[in-house]
Amino acid sequence: MTAIDTNTTALAYRDAMALLASAVHLVTTDGPGGRAGFTASAVCSVSDTPPTLLVCLNRSSSAFAAFSGNTSLCVNTLTAAQRTVADAFGGRTPMAERFAAARWTAGSTGAPVLAGALVSFDCRIVSRTSVATHDVLFCEVIALADRAPNDALVYASRRYYTVPNERTDLRTLRAAERVEGLGNGWAAEARRAALRLA
């Protein structure tokens, strides 16, 4: 282990954390505090009884005031096809422009639910704690919008990557199988994998 030089702690820590691969979410809110959203990787499951997750929000974010004034939020986990929306919500873009980059419905809490997200967790904020530069929002999940399996978006080493969904892959492979016939080796393997998953 290398000790961290206290003068470069924040930078060294950020570089180390950048090595961790994480899902990418749009965390959104609406209500008396206004409509706002930001791109987040600091989202974590806390418990399944009751279903609870946490979100870490920088207090210097332009979204902070809205989240402080509202009692609900939605965690919208992005698919690989949604990386442009991740960029729009990643900072320095006015809120109206961020929301114009995608389609939305209102969740049961009133928080904006992203159309086509991998999964959306519609939540009531049950507690808040300030730690260092961030507020940690503990949220009870009130409703879920999960959709057909899709490729996931992952952020690692300050870049976006696609994590292919096995079943999405199989759809492609099955299509290839129809075109190329069963004699093809990888198409036959796809069929065997499909049977295992069915």
Ligand X SMILES: Cc1cc2nc3c(=O)[nH]c(=O)nc-3n(C[C@H](O)[C@H](O)[C@H](O)COP(=O)(O)O)c2cc1C
CB of 43 to ligand X, least distance (A): 7
| Dihedral sign, Cα of residue 186, residue 161, residue 116, residue 74 | positive
- What minimum distance in Å lies between the beta carbon of 51 and ligand X? 20
CB of 173 to ligand X, least distance (A): 30
**Closer CB to ligand X, 62 or 193, in the complex:** 62
Residues engaged in binding ligand X (CB under 6 A): 24, 38-42, 56-58, 61-63, 89-92, 155
Nearest residue (CB) to ligand X, 52 versus 61: 61
List Cα–Cα distances, 165 to 116, 148, 171, in angstroms: 15, 10, 10
Which of 44/188 has CB closer to ligand X?
44
The CA-to-CA distance between both ends of the chain, in Å, stands at 46
Give dist(CA 29, CA 24) in Å, integer: 17
Which residue's CB is nearer to ligand X, number 121 or number 155? 155
Alpha-helical segments (H) within the chain:
9-18, 64-69, 83-88, 95-100, 166-180, 185-197
Please, what is the minimum distance in Å from the beta carbon of residue 91 to ligand X?
A: 3
Of 137, 75, 153, 65, nearest in space to 107 by CA: 75
